[in-house]
């Protein structure tokens, strides 16, 4: 069974940092581009970042560029999102998503709350 | 700025009704559109990709159509488990989502 399990979400103060992880199983992790998508509870979906197969190409939404870093460890089948200089508007549920042409499947998400 | 606009925001129907959800792109995206279903407390699930292709294990009552800027998700005979929020998603111009249509029980 294909599975994505996120972890690392927490309550953090504005200006703080957090690293999210996503453990993949049930498929060949290194054969898929991977993404992070976030959702403010009760609101819509917002694409955050993507990474190519070997981690050499990364892209970001403008609102997180320069503050967030997506990376992967194919030996550990794990995706990461390093988030620095966090702001209140980064508060959201963060989903790890496999790309197979489209976004499928999605993990269950990990909640990041930025508040003092 | 590229925008996906979904309508209506809320659709109130009874089980057995036909549901028609719309997604309009601010510029042509060919057929690079997908539809996702999200139930409360759950992650989104891929229903339709490439505008009209059903994803694995998706019932035949779900169908998608359209190309260019206007797209439609149709649920031919709404079942009780179909009441949820539906999002359209494009990947022609980076990635973006519509704001969602909530299908609720009338």
Helix (H) or strand (E) holding A103: strand A102-106
Are B83 and B105 contacting, i.e. CB atoms less than 8 angstroms apart? yes
Query: Which of A102, A105, A106 is the closest to B49 by Cβ?
Result: A102
Neighbours of B74 (CB within 10 A): 14
Contact B32, B38 (CB under 8 A): no
pLDDT at B15 over 90: yes
Cα atoms found within 13 Å of the Cα of residue A102, Cβ hemisphere only: 24
In angstroms, what separates the C-alpha of B21 from chain A's closest C-alpha? 16
Rounded-to-integer distance, Cα A76 and Cα A26, Å? 13
**DSSP reduced 3-state for A40:** coil
CB-CB under 8 Å, B43 with A45: no
For A47, the closest of B44, B95, B98 (CB atoms) is: B95
Q: Is the dihedral of CA B29, B34, B35, B38 positive or negative?
A: negative
Cα separation, B28 vs B35, whole angstroms: 17
Relative to beta strand A110-114, strand A11-12 is: parallel
Mean pLDDT for B82-96 is 96
Selected for mutation to probe chain A from B5, B37, B43 (highest A CB count within 10 Å) is B43
Cβ separation B46–A35 shorter than 8 A = no
Rounded Cα–Cα distance for residues B102 and A110 (Å)? 23
Could B97 and A47 be called an inter-chain contact, meaning their C-beta atoms sit closer than 8 Å?
yes
Q: Which residues of A touch B50 (CB under 8 A)?
A: 101
Q: Are A49 and A35 in contact (CB under 8 A)?
A: yes
Please report, in tens digits, the pLDDT of each residue of chain A (116 residues total).
999 999 999 999 999 999 999 999 999 999 999 999 999 999 999 999 999 999 999 999 999 999 999 999 999 999 999 999 999 999 999 999 999 999 999 999 999 999 99
- The runs of H, that is alpha helices, within A15-72 are none
Contact B95 A107 (CB under 8 A): no
């Amino acid at each position: 069974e294909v599975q994505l399990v996120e972890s690392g979400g927490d309550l953090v103060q504005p200006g703080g940092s957090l690293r999210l992880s996503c453990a993949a199983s049930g498929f060949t992790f290194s054969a898929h581009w991977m993404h992070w998508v976030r959702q403010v509870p009760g609101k819509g979906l917002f694409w955050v970042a993507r990474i190519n197969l070997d981690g050499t190409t990364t892209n970001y939404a403008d609102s997180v560029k320069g503050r967030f870093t997506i990376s992967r460890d194919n030996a550990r089948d794990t995706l990461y999102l390093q988030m620095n200089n966090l702001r209140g508007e980064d508060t959201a549920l963060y989903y790890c998503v496999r790309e197979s042409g489209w976004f499928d499947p999605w993990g269950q998400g990990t909640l990041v709350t930025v508040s003092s | 700025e590229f925008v996906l606009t979904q309508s209506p925001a809320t659709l109130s129907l009874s089980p057995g009704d036909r549901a028609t959800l719309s997604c309009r792109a601010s510029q042509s995206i060919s057929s690079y559109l997908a539809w996702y279903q999200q139930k409360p407390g759950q992650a989104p699930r891929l229903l339709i990709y490439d505008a009209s292709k059903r994803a694995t294990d998706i019932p035949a009552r779900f169908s998608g159509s359209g190309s260019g800027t206007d797209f439609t998700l149709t649920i031919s005979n709404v079942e009780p488990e179909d009441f949820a929020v539906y999002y359209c998603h494009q990947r022609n111009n980076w990635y973006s989502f519509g704001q969602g249509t909530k299908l609720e029980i009338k």
